[in-house]
Amino acid sequence: MKILITGSNGQVGTCLVNQLANTGHDVLALDRDKLDITDSEQVMSAVRDYCPDVIINAAAHTAVDKAESESELAFAINRDGPQNLAQAAQQVNAAILHISTDYVFAGNKVGSYLESDDTDPQGVYGKSKLEGELAVVSSCDKHIILRTAWVFGESGNNFVKTMLRLAQSRDSLGVVGDQFGGPTYAGDIAAALIHIATAVVEQGNSDFGTYHFSGLPHVSWAQFAQTIFDKALEQSVLSSKPIVNSITTADYPTPAKRPENSRLDTQKITQTFGIAASDWQAALCHLDDYMA
């Protein structure tokens, strides 16, 4: 299987490259220095030259707050880039696997979001990601949209790393307790994408469409932080843990509105591909790897 990975230096991209090493697959991993996905001619040239079986797009503008003041850049990367990749995939009869987000929803539903629920993004990031989804769907017949949430891993910047860093110098922390979601380990996202790529390319699975993949159990950010500190203490990564004070969204204003509810229902991906929800607690068993 020939796999083209974009955004190869990001959280998920790094995991994809690591997990595909020594598997026998032919992998072309490109970061933004090697491929500008917003340049349609550059994308078409790269895809035609390599002629992949599948493109996995792990490139994105994920700075949610910055997107509010960098809307042109956010739409270029999150909408135009995926469209360019999907059009190129269609040209060479490749499948495209594209990562999206819970931010395409309003975040006010009671219960978990289904793939079929109405979208209603509340900010520039969510709007740009939704338009990216629509561009992929309309541009390439063989597409998978994988919506995820609360991504963390050993590389890049994320909530786990931030909490561990702050815990080294603070006795207490205020963490938002009225936003809920499923923390998702980047390595589990990568494994899910590889599983799906294998299914659609090598096994002829044609269940294309949109899927949700995130972690269970669902928690608040404050509960997530508490679990991180408990695990860190158990593993002697921290000598003591700070007190977690649950605060409200109103107590911590940000340029971009955060969803109150980021819970994603993952039953469809389990039923279709046999992929279980991310076990985010298990992914916290080697927290020393997050401290490097």
The one-letter amino acid code at 53 reads D
Place of tokens 């040239």: 45
How far is CA 1 from its chain centroid? 23
Going by C-alpha positions, the residue among 250, 248, 257, 261 that lies closest to residue 108 is 261
Residue 252 bears catalytic tag: no
**Which residues lie below 8 Å from residue 62, measured CB to CB, with a gap of 6+?**
10, 125
Question: In angstroms, how far apart are the furthest CA atoms of the chain?
Answer: 56
Q: What span, in angstroms and rounded, lies between the C-alpha atoms of 128 and 160? A: 26
Neighbouring C-beta atoms of residue 283, cutoff 10 Å: 23
Going by C-alpha positions, the residue among 16, 15, 12 that lies closest to residue 4 is 16
The region that residue 50 occupies, defined by phi over 0 for left and psi between -120 and 50 for alpha, beta otherwise, is alpha
Q: What span, in angstroms and rounded, lies between the C-alpha atoms of 232 and 53? A: 41
**Which is catalytic among the residues 125, 185, 211, 290?**
125
Q: What span, in angstroms and rounded, lies between the C-alpha atoms of 271 and 25? A: 26
Residues for the chain: how many in total? 292
How far is CA 61 from its chain centroid? 11
Q: Which two tokens stand for residue 65?
A: 């707050």
Q: Which residue numbers are catalytic? A: 125
